[in-house]
């Protein structure tokens, strides 16, 4: 329970898409307990694009794993749409992930014995969607791979494989997408192309996106930057763009009074 002013992505009476409450992760290490993550409080709103930044080893992947319920916290809790992951069984967690969470990994994680199209169809078949093939084709088209659906991952370049992975991640239209350094294994130009596609899909599907990166170009596209150091959030800032200001905020009688319009949201 926190008493401070809610951060960006807010708790202002609306259930956040994703919430971390006093989140911590410790690991036993030579008879002691090693702190990997501590005191993480975050509320992430619907459709927000949050970049998680921080040096290698600062706990970014650990945080993402906890958000997905792939790992269990030592302290605190994660809530998705107000539902506590801590209270869920492994089966419930698997079901929740299938319905609500998409993933993109640094190393693509496509199934090698399945074609690109079959890889995209897989999550749809798991939820027994009746239009899996059509939806897979639409998504492959959206990532510029309409003519590569019959190819196996080893017949595709890294950038193409990651585009298939994007199509797969969006297949079930999950409200929440978690991406761990999705451009980390790609060269600069390819990485940028993949990133642009990711952001385009995120915007058109109004997906909440939490993306781990240490690439400043990636961060430049995010709505909000959360910086981790030594397992703690040291800065949480909203990126202001001129085009973001709602019409009523610009045409109002005086200066904006909403805390969200002005706050830098420094934490720690
Ligand atoms: P990042 O993704 O920011 O590079 P990680 O979340 O992968 O960081 O790891 C944070 C810290 O936790 C690192 O120091 C890492 O070595 C340690 N760590 C993560 N997972 C394990 C594990 N299973 N066993 C021991 N140490 C781990
Ligand atoms: Mg990592």
Q: What is the dihedral of CA 90, 27, 6, 179, to 10 degrees?
A: -60
Kindly tell me if the per-residue pLDDT of 161 is higher than 50: yes
Indicate whether 263 belongs to any domain.
no
CA 107 – CA 84 distance, rounded (Å): 29
Indicate whether 181 belongs to any domain.
yes
| Burial of 15: CB neighbours in 10 Å, binned 0-12, 13-18, 19+ | middle
pLDDT at 89 (0 to 100): 95
Residue ranges near ligand 2 (ion) with Cβ within 5 Å: 61
CA-37 nearest atom, ligand 1: 10
Kindly tell me if the per-residue pLDDT of 11 is higher than 60: no
User: Does 213 contact ligand 1 (Cβ within 6 A)?
Assistant: no
pLDDT at 233 (0 to 100): 98
Kindly tell me if the per-residue pLDDT of 263 is higher than 60: no
Mean pLDDT of 121-135: 94
User: Residue length, the chain?
Assistant: 268
Give the list of residues 6+ apart from residue 251 with CB closer than 8 angstroms, or none: none
DSSP 10-77: --SSS--SEEEEEEEEEEEETTEEEEEEEEEEEEE-TT-EEEEE--TTSSHHHHHHHHTTSS--SEEE
Number of domain units in the chain: 1
63-114 pLDDT per residue, tens: 999 999 999 999 999 999 999 999 999 999 999 999 999 999 989 999 999 9
Q: Are strands 83-84 and 101-104 parallel, antiparallel or unpaired?
A: unpaired
Indicate whether 146 belongs to any domain.
yes
Point out which residues pair with 208 in neighbouring strands.
Answer: 176
220: pLDDT confidence band, cut at 50, 70 and 90? confident
CA 47 – CA 204 distance, rounded (Å): 10
Residue nearest to atom 5 of ligand 1 (CA): 59
User: Does 28 contact ligand 1 (Cβ within 6 A)?
Assistant: no
User: Which of 24, 27, 34, 36 should be mutated for ligand 1, with most atoms under 8 A from CB?
Assistant: 36
Which CATH number is 127's domain given?
A: 3.40.50.300
CA 109 to ligand 1 center in whole angstroms? 20
Ligand nearest the Cα of residue 37 is: 1
CA 23 to ligand 2 center in whole angstroms? 17
Indicate whether 211 belongs to any domain.
yes
171: pLDDT confidence band, cut at 50, 70 and 90? very high
Kindly tell me if the per-residue pLDDT of 9 is higher than 80: no
CA 155 – CA 244 distance, rounded (Å): 41
Ligand nearest the Cα of residue 26 is: 1
Outline where DSSP puts E strands in the chain.
18-29, 32-44, 49-53, 75-80, 83-84, 101-104, 176-180, 208-212, 224-229, 232-238
CB 105 within 8 A of CB 81: no
Rounded alpha-carbon distances, angstroms, from residue 206 to 42, 176, 202: 19, 9, 6
- Domain enclosing residue 234, as ranges: 18-239
């Amino acid at each position: 329970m926190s008493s401070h002013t809610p951060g960006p992505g807010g708790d202002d009476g609306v259930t956040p898409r994703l919430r971390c409450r006093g989140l911590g992760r410790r690991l036993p290490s030579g008879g002691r307990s090693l702190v990997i993550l501590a005191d993480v409080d975050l509320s992430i709103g619907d459709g927000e694009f949050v970049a998680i930044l921080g040096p290698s080893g600062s706990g970014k992947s650990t945080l993402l794993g906890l958000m997905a319920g792939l790992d269990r916290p030592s302290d605190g809790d994660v809530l998705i749409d107000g539902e506590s992951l801590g209270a869920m069984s492994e089966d419930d967690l698997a079901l929740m992930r299938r319905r609500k969470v998409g993933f993109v990994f640094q190393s693509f994680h496509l199934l090698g014995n399945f074609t690109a199209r079959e890889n995209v169809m897989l999550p749809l078949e798991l939820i027994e969607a009746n239009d899996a093939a059509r939806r897979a084709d639409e998504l492959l088209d959206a990532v510029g791979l309409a003519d590569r659906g019959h190819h196996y991952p080893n017949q595709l370049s890294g950038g193409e494989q990651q585009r298939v992975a994007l199509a797969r991640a969006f297949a079930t239209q999950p409200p929440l997408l978690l991406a761990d350094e999705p451009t980390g294994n790609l060269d600069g130009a390819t990485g940028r192309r993949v990133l642009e596609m990711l952001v385009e899909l995120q915007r058109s599907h109004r997906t909440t996106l939490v993306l781990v990166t240490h690439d400043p170009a990636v961060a430049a596209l995010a709505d909000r930057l959360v910086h981790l150091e030594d397992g703690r959030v040291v800065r949480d800032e909203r990126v202001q763009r001129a085009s973001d200001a709602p019409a009523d905020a610009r045409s109002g009688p005086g200066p904006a009074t909403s805390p969200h319009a002005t706050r830098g949201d420094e934490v720690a």
